[in-house]
Structure 1
């Protein structure tokens, strides 16, 4: 093992009385590296340890998937049955939606986080489960035909949790505890729906707020989408038990990471609550998680019998980088990254997929090639002379270099990208975009106003307000970025539709596609 670089990074993270991380690596069934640094509670001077419990966010999804697969194995549920009559929030859709669609993120359902942000609500603003249910039932359209694409959707796992409770007449807490945690011996893992709950040995979550650090919070409850708390020690128990677990006649890890097959026959990189892709030539499965104040990453390398776990009580922590360092330290082999295409520098710039108004920027940062999409940055990993994988994206994406430009490969389909030059058409016509637009799906008013040579979007919803400064990209296409409260940046693209005084706007974000709002004045 070569632990020096990982130890050096952890030494830096552990300096002073600040938040920190807990890290472990399992190789051949034994713990080969473990360390915790920083504070579980800065205020109470409680250090992090391997026993410290963290909110593991979306790492929860694999446990929900396992419980549901057990119910499928027992004949209680069916992965491919139409669920519209079983789940009230699906009643309004014309398209069939199955449990497989929910767990594979191929349902087309708009993500609940997106819906809250798009109606102006801050992540800290309290919202009841009943209000979330009502919001989901207001949605009249899907992002796409179920099974045709992948777009990450916490909504799907929220509804799958409801389905598990309905099928067993038990709360999800009981389902997970009796079916998974007690049999395996994970005594420190439990469902904790509320962000304000106080539990023994639970770390406090912290978040950067400008130059300061403050306690993080959120106003909605979670279930099988992101509600678990756990420790590194417990997740080590899970990883050591995983090779022995079977469901539906095959090893559990194989079933969880079984790639979704789209309607077009192509396969993606997400399975059932678990992704499966490659890392430096090795197959890797697992998941990541992010909530205000917490970040997590779990990676499995089946070919090397290695697992890596990173839990942090700050959502600013680079858990992906730490997991990569830990994996490199544990595996005694040459795992150097493959080279990127030589002429990539000449192709930097902003691009658009015109079929979907998806924006993508190719750039270099600190000498490394990155892609910016939806206000997030993803590094690129070379696959061959023309193909690059967009790493760590929640969507199955690859970038292809061709003589006539770039292509985005997503879900087995190729999307042409057009370079977007700086808009030079002037701003004298901005008044025709001004007005109010309404969305019944969001219960929100979008007010477009003019400020000199720019447009400003103000969102007024039932539980909050937010604002975006809109940058003009083309005659009728604008983009804006806002920070909801203090947590994450959030980018939208708005296309104005119609003639003269536009009567419709079409909004696209990371997890919401082509949502239309109508002019109301």
Structure 2
């Protein structure tokens, strides 16, 4: 069965026509890179965009949005963005900073006074950078994410009983922080968090291909979600090995059964998006049409902790140096990845419907197509 699905994916992978035409040799190289990656990982569907010098030079979809229904992925297909949503929350916070409504070093209790008194040392900056020391509002063992409580009131009562570590001393990925950021955005703006993102960030750009909703929500046009990891025998969750690491499936991919239905997780993981919408968003973000370039640079700058060490995150974004260039990235659900090389004005977006598809590797391979000197056609693709 797995071999038949892979053969079907390879056969369909070149059938989707790009809306934006790149140089043919570069486009064919990207097709080759994507096709090999999808076949190797059994990825059902993927959508890819490349932005160069403020222009979308490639926007293309491959494979299937639904294996069961044999529905091809298109450039309008919606994918779960999962934690990629945090980028939007971070940008929304920066719009409030730019207009002088909040400061990054304000305590979260300044805007949310009902929070436990022990949370007072935690700032907005700590929440953005995952250095708050707050207890997490989910149980997260790397692959299984479950809310700690069924209602917001029960959740807050439970979190209030848990210890708080000294803020700014360690970096631990955390969903509570982004729940609070969403609450702050709502309190300061006077409108629900989701509406603020829609009205302040998306509507001015004409973006309609982003929708809110978790896996319990009926979202028309959204791709089915699958996993490359091995479920337990009773299919109640995904397996972990003795070291707590996820176990990759040895018998093909599986439908992904994660069912998180908590509206307080929207600021952390609530968005679904198409490649068309994401290309428009990223292009606008990196050309200064959403927030100031210096605000975006601050979001990408790695947070420096009290002991002088830098963490993996800046303010919602991640930054690393590769081959002498800074790369700024975000991703979510182990299925979506976006990387920008600012000094080369180059962004690659990969959306997939397979958890554990390692999309960062596919992004890196596509970046290589556009940056390697031997690929002279890359220059032509952006003219």
TM-score (norm 1): 0.57
Secondary structure at the counterpart of residue 39 of structure 1: strand
Q: How does 1:36-435 map to 2 (within 5 A)?
A: 36-84=61-109, 86-87=111-112, 90-93=115-118, 96-114=121-139, 123=146, 127-139=150-162, 141-142=163-164, 144-192=165-213, 194-208=214-228, 209=231, 210=249, 211=251, 213-221=254-262, 222-245=265-288, 250-290=293-333, 295-333=335-373
For 2:150 and 2:284, locate their aligned partners in 1 and report how far apart those are by CA, in whole Å: 37
Deviation (angstroms), 1:172: 1.3
Does the Cα contact within 8 Å between 2:91 and 2:291 map onto a contact in 1? no
Output one character per residue of 1:99-144: Cα deviation in whole Å (capped at 9) or x when no partner: 0110111111233334x669xx9749983444433332231x22x3
Secondary structure at the counterpart of residue 224 of structure 1: helix
Secondary structure at the counterpart of residue 235 of structure 1: helix
Q: How does 1:491-506 map to 2 (within 5 A)?
A: none
For 1:207 and 1:269, locate their aligned partners in 2 and report how far apart those are by CA, in whole Å: 25
Deviation (angstroms), 1:289: 0.7
In structure 2, relative to structure 1, the CA distance for the partners of 1:302 and 1:126 (3 Å cut) is same
**26, 31, 36: which one aligns with 1:7:** 31
> What RMSD in Å do the two structures reach over aligned CA positions?
3.0
Deviation (angstroms), 1:262: 2.1
Deviation (angstroms), 1:233: 1.1
Secondary structure at the counterpart of residue 309 of structure 1: strand
For 1:187 and 1:117, locate their aligned partners in 2 and report how far apart those are by CA, in whole Å: 34
Does the Cα contact within 8 Å between 1:67 and 1:176 map onto a contact in 2? yes
For 2:322 and 2:206, locate their aligned partners in 1 and report how far apart those are by CA, in whole Å: 30
In structure 2, relative to structure 1, the CA distance for the partners of 1:246 and 1:101 (3 Å cut) is farther
Deviation (angstroms), 1:36: 1.6
Higher RCO (CA 8 Å, separation ≥ 6 residues): 2
Deviation (angstroms), 1:285: 0.6
In structure 2, the partner of 1:22 is 47
For 1:249 and 1:42, locate their aligned partners in 2 and report how far apart those are by CA, in whole Å: 42
Q: Structure 2: where are the runs of 5+ without partners?
A: 1-24, 232-248, 376-383
In structure 2, relative to structure 1, the CA distance for the partners of 1:276 and 1:117 (3 Å cut) is closer
In structure 2, relative to structure 1, the CA distance for the partners of 1:326 and 1:149 (3 Å cut) is same
Does the Cα contact within 8 Å between 1:24 and 1:35 map onto a contact in 2? yes
When you count strand as a share of all residues, which structure comes out higher? 1
When you count helix as a share of all residues, which structure comes out higher? 2
For 1:239 and 1:214, locate their aligned partners in 2 and report how far apart those are by CA, in whole Å: 29
Aligned positions, number: 325
Does the Cα contact within 8 Å between 1:14 and 1:20 map onto a contact in 2? no
Deviation (angstroms), 1:95: 5.6
Does the Cα contact within 8 Å between 1:173 and 1:190 map onto a contact in 2? no
For 1:48 and 1:19, locate their aligned partners in 2 and report how far apart those are by CA, in whole Å: 9
In structure 2, relative to structure 1, the CA distance for the partners of 1:57 and 1:89 (3 Å cut) is farther
Does the Cα contact within 8 Å between 2:126 and 2:168 map onto a contact in 1? yes
For 2:223 and 2:291, locate their aligned partners in 1 and report how far apart those are by CA, in whole Å: 36
In structure 2, relative to structure 1, the CA distance for the partners of 1:205 and 1:130 (3 Å cut) is farther
Deviation (angstroms), 1:190: 2.8
Q: Structure 1: where are the runs of 5+ without partners?
A: 336-521
Deviation (angstroms), 1:57: 1.1
For 1:4 and 1:19, locate their aligned partners in 2 and report how far apart those are by CA, in whole Å: 20
Output one character per residue of 1:247-305: Cα deviation in whole Å (capped at 9) or x when no partner: 88644431321332322345444221111111222101121111xxx610000001111
In structure 2, relative to structure 1, the CA distance for the partners of 1:26 and 1:246 (3 Å cut) is closer
